[in-house]
Chains A and B, each alone.
Chain A
Amino acid sequence: MKSKQQRQLFYLVPYGAWLLLFVIAPLFLLLFQSLTSANGGLTLHNYAVYFGSGTYLRMTFNSVWFAFLITLITLVISYPMAYLLNQLKRKQFWLLLVILPTWINLLLKTYAFIGLLSKTGTVNNFMSFFGIAPQQLLFSDWSFLLVAAYIEIPFMILPIFNSLAEIDPKLEQASRDLGANKWQTLRRVILPLSMPGVKAGIQAVFIPSLSLFMITRLIGGNRVITLGTAIEEHFLVTQNWQLGSTIGVILIVAMVVTMILTRDRVKKNTRK
């Protein structure tokens, strides 16, 4: 038993120090800021502003909705991709090729998309061969979803791929031997076993999607406003750090709640 305590301490010290310095301390600062007024007094005014104004609530809803759509699109594209990658012979190599695009700067890729999607851009030029008049592609919800999903796909594929790679191929074989067809094996064996990866992927995509801000402007033309945009605005433009922190705190609370919810649900599912 003593050795376990020793072991735990050994892990806890570096990790705990990080938590204390870079998570708990900033979190405390954030909470403190959200509870102060511009003059420094303690107040709940910022929360009243947030919950009292339809604007912020509507924006929050919008933001969650878009993050949900991005996650869904990413998941639908990524799961089959991760599954098929896993069937390949040199899968580690192909996986690296999936990660590679993320090493090119985000802003540059966004600029490339602007070049592709703009009125005189490559896609419209290509479509004009088929006689389809120049379409307005930029500054629409669709272009925003496309680019956001594009950016997040590798972050979804990687964890799913990992949990799929973990599954023993013999299990699949056993399921086949027992008379299950390909779909049944996928649904009853592979899918439940890869759930942790899917969950990690959703967390890695949904949460950052709530706070996208560069693409909302460049591709969405500020027609899509996320929580991230609002926070960015309050920290950098209005300099109303108090309200910015308030939105941040609300975001964090929402995250903790969803995490606890998904955790329990997944547990139940696997028990079945």
Chain B
Amino acid sequence: MKKAFKWSNLYLWFVFILLYLPIFFLIIYSFNAGDVMQGWDGFSLKHYVELFADTRIIEIVVNTFLIALLSSLLASILGTAGALYIYDQRNRLIKNIFLSLNNILLVSPDVIIGASFLILFTVVGFSLGFASVLLSHIAFSIPIVVLMVLPRLQEMNQSLVAAAKDLGANNWQMLSRVILPVISPGILAGFFMAFTYSLDDFAVTFFVTGNGFSTLSVEIYSRARQGVSLEINALSAMMFIVSLVLVLLYYVISTRSSKNKKRGTRLVTPATEGL
């Protein structure tokens, strides 16, 4: 028993090291006195100095996070609505049509999404910039939220919903008191996925941006023509540290408010007991 436990820890460590290896590689080289990610020329903070002097890149970082947060928030709301609709739909054919339509944006290569959105914005006469990028990011994040929320809904106990209905709950009460608490982990997962997609996206943003608006991916890709400068490594290192702090913070907050959490889990438990 004890031995098996150790093996599993080893596996966890292995995967975590694999996941973080390239990132630590990037971070270590951000302190390189040389200018490339090859060969160590000594410790230096010069790339950080460069980074803080570069107002353009700082503005772009702010833009990127603004777009990512806003788009994933709105996509979570719209995506949850979509998942609820699909879940509620009893007609199998309609359900499948909606699911297929939902997944089209996931299957489409970014280039096609970007190009078709660009055509769309042109047809409508929408000028390119912050708003067009935001709309596009919301658009391609919605399907992933739906995919994350749907399994939660499908696993939700029907008798719970039926009981709530019998007790005279109206639509809004049912949604806010019964359904949302059960599916909230799915929504949260969807939000994180959407956030991730948005931060990572290059091709779509590349097509629909304009008038001086830029996100980090687009900027990095265009700078990559000259080989990625270690200033970008320094930036990644900083972003990584900030994200890590945020995760720790989130963890501390969520454990402190564990009272709330317990109430939440208690609500789930009787629901699944009926299975």
Contact = CB atoms under 8 A, between A and B. Distances in A.
Question: Is A bound to B?
Answer: yes
Contacts of B105: 22-23
Give the contact-size bracket for chain B: 35 or more
A98 to B, nearest CB: 7
A102 B196 contact: yes
A203 B147 contact: yes
A203 to B, nearest CB: 7
A271 interface: no
Give the contact-size bracket for chain A: 35 or more
B264 interface: no
A98 B18 CA distance: 11
Contacts, number: 264
A112 B23 contact: yes
Contacts of A112: 22-23, 25-26, 37
A121 B38 contact: yes
Contacts of A260: 96, 100
A4 interface: yes
Contacts of A168: 269, 272-273, 275
B233 interface: yes
Interface in B220-270: 220-221, 224, 228, 232-233, 236, 239-240, 243-244, 247, 250-251, 254-255, 269
Interface in A53-98: 77, 80-81, 84-85, 87-88, 90, 92-93, 96-98
B228 A259 contact: no
Q: Which 7 A-B pairs have the closest CB atoms?
A: A26-B116, A15-B82, A211-B109, A112-B22, A11-B85, A22-B139, A196-B151
Given A115-B29, A162-B185, A231-B111, 16 more contacts: A11-B81, A22-B135, A84-B12, A87-B8, A100-B244, A103-B243, A106-B200, A122-B25, A166-B155, A170-B273, A197-B151, A211-B108, A227-B109, A231-B109, A235-B115, A244-B111
Interface of B: 8, 11-12, 15-16, 18-23, 25-26, 29, 37-39, 77-79, 81-82, 84-85, 88-89, 96, 98-113, 115-117, 119-120, 135-136, 138-140, 142, 144, 147-148, 150-152, 154-155, 170-171, 185-186, 189, 192-193, 195-196, 199-200, 202-203, 216-217, 220-221, 224, 228, 232-233, 236, 239-240, 243-244, 247, 250-251, 254-255, 269, 272-273, 275
Interface of A: 3-4, 6-8, 10-12, 14-15, 18-19, 21-27, 29-30, 77, 80-81, 84-85, 87-88, 90, 92-93, 96-109, 111-116, 118, 120-122, 150, 153-155, 158-159, 162-163, 165-166, 168, 170-171, 196-197, 200, 203-204, 207-208, 210-211, 213-214, 227-228, 231-232, 235-236, 241, 244-245, 248, 251-252, 255-256, 259-260, 263
